[in-house]
A and B are shown apart, each in its own frame.
Chain A
Amino acid sequence: MEGIAIRLQDLWKAFGETTAVAGVDLEIRDGEFFSMLGPSGSGKTTVLRLLAGFESPDRGRIELAGQEVTGLAPFERDVHTVFQDYALFPHMTVEQNVAYALKVRKVPKAERLVRARKALAEVRLEGYGQRRPAQLSGGQRQRVALARALVGRPRVLLLDEPLGALDLKLREQMQVELKAIQREVGITFVFVTHDQEEALTMSDRIAVFERGRIAQVGTPAEIYERPATPFVASFVGTSNLLDGETAHRVVGTPGTYNIRPEKIRVLKESAEADQPDHTSVTGTVAEVVYLGDATRFLVDLDGGGRLTALQQNLETSSEDVAAYRGTRARLTWHRRHAVRLPS
């Protein structure tokens, strides 16, 4: 049976004149890897701090596993946080840091040690227990912070952009590990990030934040393939937004439409493109960007408007693609990939 780990009802929070959270309703399921995605200042971190209890809402209700926790202090909530800059205690060893939640709960020393070591093993840091945080690399500190938050087996783990300070390679590696650890321990993860790729890779579901409100909640595929608003479409992945006269001419009906660049095929103008249910337009290649694994084409359509198309470099090399610049091209895509957005 799938329970509800977190329920937020009509949550509001303002700091002075700025409204950070403006009426958020949300349900997060037990055992879910849930991401809150949005640009900086969209209110996602404030929602996380409201969940942890560092801030209290101006209005609204927070439930944790069916119990209202709205007015409770952080130490009264079965929720632990992994902070953006880790917030490790510099005067304690790694082991003492990890065992802190247990020490606070007066777990006997012997058991504390066993569980701290086990938590360090979970994040692959065996043998680092006696070091100080200052003696660790960024990635290692990140793992200590994770072990420290996991050791008490909280109902929910909150992660505030925990990978933001790591370099790209390490970040990709940690994304995979974080997901594996979450599956292993089965705890609900609430993950705050502004990196749409990170959210798409790791999450079971994503809430996209826009100016203190939730613009859309859904699985990564739903968010990417069926964005609910122009904002979601442009914030998650790259997109071609068509509206007004251009949309009418290209798609056939008026409205606002989004087409993902990788759904568009670039062909020679002469190519026959009469596959059923496909849209076909012609234009001139204005710019070609070689990306290594793929090539991005910017095509000016006959009659106005510009589309971006992305092609995998299966056979082509960088010299080949450069030759496309200024040539005529035909763009085709399946009708269902032109996603209508509410305007």
Chain B
Amino acid sequence: MTTDATAAAGRGTVRRLAGTLHRRPRLRLTLLLTAPLLWLAVLYLGSLAVLFVSAFWTTNSFTSQVVKVWSTDNFHELLTTPVFRQVVLRSAGVALAVTVLCALIAFPVAFYTARVARPRWRPLLVVAILTPLWASYLVKVYAWRLILSQGGLADWTLAPFGLSGPGFGLPATVLTLTYLWLPYMILPIHTALEQLPANLLDASADLGARAGRTFRSVVLPMVLPSVAAGSVFTFSLSLGDYITVQIVGGKTQLIGNLVYSNIELNLPMAAALGTVPVVVIVLYLLAIRRTGALHSL
């Protein structure tokens, strides 16, 4: 008897609470959003702010202790030292090259999975494209190290043609990163091509356009925002990477490596270097926004 009554009372309380929440949408919203917003503001934006502020500090050159004295020396050094400038340009170049390669490879693949393959096979093909993402990042990069090592798979395959593999270095880094981030480019393009109405292609042919013209005038402009959306992933993931380059990059240095090597000796300099990719990506996003790509993310 008593348990029944308690249960009934409990149900009554839940009911009242649900009713209150239903009548007060703002309260509902507050309860829903407080935790994630705190996470975003404190952990994410907060750490970015700390990064940015500490970039203006300096270190005691004898003890490597951080000295909290306001100074723009780090940025001055960053902009005037040729090595830093080279590394920044090289990193942006790698990110750009990876993005272009991903787009060039992803387009035909996505075209096949979205429009050429039989409809019943399409979901399976998408899964196949996603499977590499389930494997560990390190496993995949070390696999590439084996492929590209001296006498490895790349050398062995190319030997009959009198060629050899690229070895470790910048090309190997671009190649490996392209492999790593390719699914992030294929997926948005696949979705865009899949959603492209078939009757637009019919209409183009009907008005006299051959396949090439239809591709240039109808398919490409409608899918371009998705390519841009995919490029946001490939570009920013490549720009932030510092492990792949350590494993297959030989002596190549990217921004990430400089941050890594400065963190012990000169934390403020590492912070200043760390703001560079953030700035580059913000500029990239601003450029992308003009294409309308952020709507298709």
Contact = CB atoms under 8 A, between A and B. Distances in A.
Interface of A: 52-54, 73-75, 79-81, 83, 85, 87-91, 100-101, 103-105, 148-149, 152
B4 interface: no
A75 B218 contact: no
Given A87-B200, A91-B221, 10 more contacts: A52-B202, A53-B206, A73-B205, A80-B207, A83-B199, A83-B203, A101-B207, A104-B209, A149-B207, A152-B207
Closest 3 CB pairs of A and B: A87-B203, A74-B205, A101-B207
A100 B207 contact: yes
Contacts of A100: 204, 207, 209, 217
B206 A74 contact: yes
A85 B199 contact: yes
Interface in B181-225: 197, 199-200, 202-210, 213, 217-218, 221-222
Contact of B205 (A75, A83, A105, A152): A75
B203 to A, nearest CB: 4
Contacts of A87: 197, 199-200, 202-203
6 contacts: A74-B205, A83-B202, A90-B222, A91-B221, A91-B222, A105-B208
B271 to A, nearest CB: 43
Contacts of B203: 81, 83, 87-89
Q: Most chain-A CB neighbours within 10 Å: which of B204, B208, B210, B222?
A: B208
B225 to A, nearest CB: 9
A75 B217 contact: no
Nearest to B207: A101
A89 B200 contact: yes
Nearest to B200: A87
A89 B202 contact: no
A136 B204 CA distance: 21
Given A83-B199, A87-B200, A91-B221, A52 B206 contact: yes
Contacts of B197: 87
A3 B203 CA distance: 27
Contacts of B221: 91
A74 B206 CA distance: 5
Contacts of B213: 104
B189 to A, nearest CB: 16
Q: Most chain-B CB neighbours within 10 Å: which of A73, A87, A105?
A: A87
